[in-house]
Amino acid sequence: MPHASLEAHALPYASLLLPYQPESVAAARRFVGAQLREWGLDDLVDDAAVIVSELTTNSLRTGCRTRMLVGLRRPAGHIVRILVGDGSRTMPVMLQAGPDATSGRGLAMVHRLTHGRWGVTLLPHGKVVHADLATPIPR
Ligand SMILES: Nc1ncnc2c1ncn2[C@@H]1O[C@H](COP(=O)(O)OP(=O)(O)OP(=O)(O)O)[C@@H](O)[C@H]1O
Ligand SMILES: [Mg+2]
């Protein structure tokens, strides 16, 4: 039986640090798409692209400097976790956007695409937002 911490290190994980610039949204999308395809999870690429676009756009708006983190993990066999970290300790709040609202829909979209499986981990110098997608059951 491998030691638990060794097992944790063996978890598939990929991450990228990006500047707080609008171009980083597309860069995050490309990174996540390429990694999912490498894992053979092409079916998740579209939903993951929406999620990572919304989360990185939110991180951009924090006005943080240095770098935001974009990561992909597979915490369990059937789950892909998208992570976006920034240097702000302000918590994201899912809004109830009215029909005429032009904003306030991003997290609601993440909530819908993940069936509510998303969350935030507060860190000493920022936070990480995660969103989980279920992998298709192999036939
Ligand atoms: N990374 C973040 N850091 C700090 N606050 C955040 C972060 N993400 C979201 N928020 C807060 O949560 C609110 C809701 O985010 P959400 O993405 O749902 O809507 P929005 O970004 O305001 O509009 P839209 O995504 O539709 O353009 C934001 O207005 C912001 O106040
Ligand atoms: Mg948003």
Which CATH number covers residue 17? 3.30.565.10
Question: Would 45 be classed as within a structural domain?
Answer: yes
Number of domains in the chain: 1
Distance (angstroms) between ligand 2 centre and the Cα of 84 equals: 13
Distance (angstroms) between ligand 1 centre and the Cα of 71 equals: 19
The tens digit of pLDDT for each residue in 104-134 reads 999 999 999 999 999 999 999 999 999 999 9
Question: Would 139 be classed as within a structural domain?
Answer: no
Distance (angstroms) between ligand 2 centre and the Cα of 57 equals: 6
Q: How far apart are CA 51 and CA 45, in angstroms?
A: 10
Question: Would 74 be classed as within a structural domain?
Answer: yes
Which of helix, strand or coil describes residue 132?
strand
Residues in the chain, how many?
A: 139
Which of helix, strand or coil describes residue 75?
strand
**Domain span holding position 55:** 4-134
The tens digit of pLDDT for each residue in 12-67 reads 789 999 999 999 999 999 999 999 999 999 999 999 999 999 999 999 999 999 99
Q: Which residues line ligand 1 (CB under 6 A)?
A: 54, 58-59, 62, 86, 88, 90, 92-95, 103-108
Question: Would 40 be classed as within a structural domain?
Answer: yes
